[in-house]
Amino acid sequence: MTTNDLRRIQLYDTTLRDGAQSAGIHFSAEDKKRIARRLALFGMDWIEGGWPGSSPTDDHFFALMRDRNWSHSKLVAFGSTARPGHPVDQDAGLARLVDCGADAVCIFGKSWDLHVTIGLGIELQANLDLVSGSVAWLKQHVATVMFDAEHFFDGYVANREYAMQVLAAAAGAGADALVLCDTNGGSLPEQISACVRQVVARFPDITIGIHAHNDSEMAVANAIAAVSAGASHVQGTVNGIGERCGNANLISVIPTLKLKMGVDCGVDTEGLRKLRRLSTFVNEMANQLPWQHQPFVGQNAFAHKGGIHVSAVRKASRLYEHIDPASVGNAQRVLVSNQAGRSNILAKLQQLEPDAVVDDAAVVRVVQRIKEMEATGYAFEGADASFQLLLRRATGNFKRHFELVSFRVYDEKRGHDIAPESEATVQLKVDGRLLHTAALGSGPVNAMDKAMRAALTGAYPALEEMRLTDFKVRVLSTKDATEAAVRVLIESSDGVHKWNTVGVSTDVLEATYRALNDAIEYKLVMDQVASDTEPVGEEFCI
């Protein structure tokens, strides 16, 4: 592959069909409509909506999509060749593909002789007739018909001549694209390349595509290998979701084609910058947490922890970053840990507070304090707000807004089937005044959070806006059982910004208090910074 390759690679998204087959993921018809709209705004060439007739959800989705108004993307209906033993023109499945209102149709057929004789239980010639007859009938009613050659690479190894005959049957009937499927996900890039070259040479006037599964964690590599060998159509899903181990991840395929290979895949520079947001949106719709280490768009894709690495990227980011993170909508992260050095602290400070000035002695104190705290179980990688407060304390740029006098938490359980009741009582001092407040909550953490904010809102009304949005507890040493220290990570929000804090103790409530204390202090500090300078902007969003 050279950078002057003039082919236009078609992007075919099957998130709504193959991706929806992923274990633990369920899309409603409305979810699918929202995702389809987002994919169309992104500029995906083909958006496969599902299989008409396979479920009420898919039928409802295609009904919802009849009023679509997409400027570029085309909606695809997925199905199979006609059932054996029935006339093609009377097949209900094919009729539903025509009637669903999609712009194009993609049907799959068997290309591995073993699947024909055992799976379908028919003669090899009968399968060829099904393929050619189904494609020919659909071409009479639909402008674009694509053929997915199921299990093609396994079939090619087992019986090359027959696998090619299946493609020829589809091509001869008028198929607009022949898509080679690594359905079991077991092929290697070298096998994909050799096979695709043969197919491209055999069918030079038809679009050749690749549909790769990830069972050997080769789906992206196999898709790229196919393009390098001449394929011009790539099928995959957003974030690689899909049956078993998933499909080729278009979020990785797209920047690889565009930035690494110089290939036109219909995504411009502005489109690339939307990749991370597209990935995040589909994760939200799928109700799954983002993979923090996902290449290109993950939170840690451009995260640097070792002091040597941080020192290098401060001089030139490309020393340890293969692309500019901003090109795919991501950003560089500098992590602070017991491996931190002066470069980490300065780089992190520049990210959080670009105008701050810190002397070398303060940096040394921060590094030493971080190492001491992490030795007891603290981790600042996911707690930037706690780190920023630590930095302010070390530089003398911190004034406490309140002091703890005491707290008590009661958790009462009455009977087997009755939910427990939690009550927290706190005593705090603000400017020498003693504040004493109690609050009920759904569990001890919620009660403590409510009690602390209730005590402080009279002095600091902005805390009314603040909410705890996530809470995680990790046991730091399994060998110590219930005597082990625990680390509590808290995510808080004021409706505009989010920030993360950490607390560690052998007492889970004490660890929670420390994290809550930092969360409240951070909110008050940032509000003060905003009032002293400009309105709070994204730079304060940790």
61-102 tens-digit pLDDT: 999 999 999 999 999 999 999 999 889 999 999 999 999 999
Range of the domain at 171: 14-286
Closest CA to 348 of 363, 336, 365: 336
pLDDT for the residue numbered 401: 93
530: pLDDT strictly greater than 80: no
**pLDDT (mean) for 283-298:** 91
pLDDT for the residue numbered 345: 67
3-state DSSP percent of the chain in helix, strand and coil, to 5: 45, 20, 35
**pLDDT, tens digit, 9 for 90 and up, residues 464-517:** 999 988 888 988 876 666 678 899 999 999 988 899 999 999 999 999 999 999
Final residue before a domain boundary, out of 319, 353, 375: 375
Lowest mean pLDDT among 146-150, 309-313, 458-462, 522-526: 309-313
pLDDT for the residue numbered 537: 35
Q: Are strands 403-412 and 421-430 parallel, antiparallel or unpaired?
A: antiparallel
**pLDDT, tens digit, 9 for 90 and up, residues 332-359:** 876 665 455 566 666 666 665 666 666 7
When pLDDT is cut at 50, 70 and 90, the band that residue 44 belongs to is very high
Q: Which CATH number covers residue 181?
A: 3.20.20.70
Lowest mean pLDDT among 126-140, 271-285, 363-377: 363-377
**Count: domains in the chain:** 2
pLDDT for the residue numbered 1: 41
Closest CA to 107 of 54, 146, 151: 146
- Flag whether 201 is in a domain: yes
- Flag whether 465 is in a domain: no
Lowest mean pLDDT among 7-16, 120-129, 383-392: 383-392
Lowest mean pLDDT among 9-13, 275-279, 357-361, 384-388: 357-361
Token pair in block for residue 200: 């491209």
Same domain (yes/no): 342, 278: no
Final residue before a domain boundary, out of 252, 286, 320: 286
Lowest mean pLDDT among 222-231, 249-258, 275-284, 379-388: 379-388
Token pair in block for residue 539: 């730079």
- Flag whether 428 is in a domain: no
Same domain (yes/no): 112, 68: yes
Same domain (yes/no): 226, 353: no
Final residue before a domain boundary, out of 339, 358, 375: 375
Same domain (yes/no): 325, 242: no
- Flag whether 95 is in a domain: yes
Token pair in block for residue 355: 């105008």
- Flag whether 484 is in a domain: no
Does residue 214 contact residue 185 with C-beta atoms inside 8 Å? Answer: yes
pLDDT for the residue numbered 40: 97
279: pLDDT strictly greater than 70: yes
145: pLDDT strictly greater than 60: yes
pLDDT for the residue numbered 38: 96
* End-to-end CA gap in the chain: 41
Same domain (yes/no): 119, 36: yes
**pLDDT, tens digit, 9 for 90 and up, residues 393-422:** 877 778 899 999 999 999 887 777 787 889
**pLDDT (mean) for 245-258:** 98
Same domain (yes/no): 311, 256: no
- Flag whether 503 is in a domain: no
**pLDDT (mean) for 140-148:** 98
Same domain (yes/no): 67, 162: yes
User: For the stretch 239-270, what's the b/e string if a residue is b when 16 or more beta carbons lie within 10 angstroms of its beta carbon?
Assistant: bbbbbeebbbbbbbbbbbbbbebebebbbeee
144: pLDDT strictly greater than 90: yes
Same domain (yes/no): 312, 250: no
Lowest mean pLDDT among 50-64, 161-175, 337-351: 337-351
- Flag whether 409 is in a domain: no
- Flag whether 383 is in a domain: no
Same domain (yes/no): 325, 250: no
pLDDT for the residue numbered 43: 96
Same domain (yes/no): 262, 315: no
Backbone angles phi, psi at 408, to 5 degrees: -135, 145
Same domain (yes/no): 186, 335: no
**Which residue type sits at 375?**
A
Same domain (yes/no): 318, 263: no
Rounded distance, CA 390 to CA 338, Å? 14
Averaged pLDDT of the chain: 89
pLDDT for the residue numbered 304: 78
Q: Which residue matches tokens 């927290």? A: 424
Q: What angle do CA 302, 308, 310 make, to 5 degrees?
A: 35
pLDDT for the residue numbered 342: 61
Token pair in block for residue 396: 């003398």
Rounded distance, CA 152 to CA 239, Å? 24
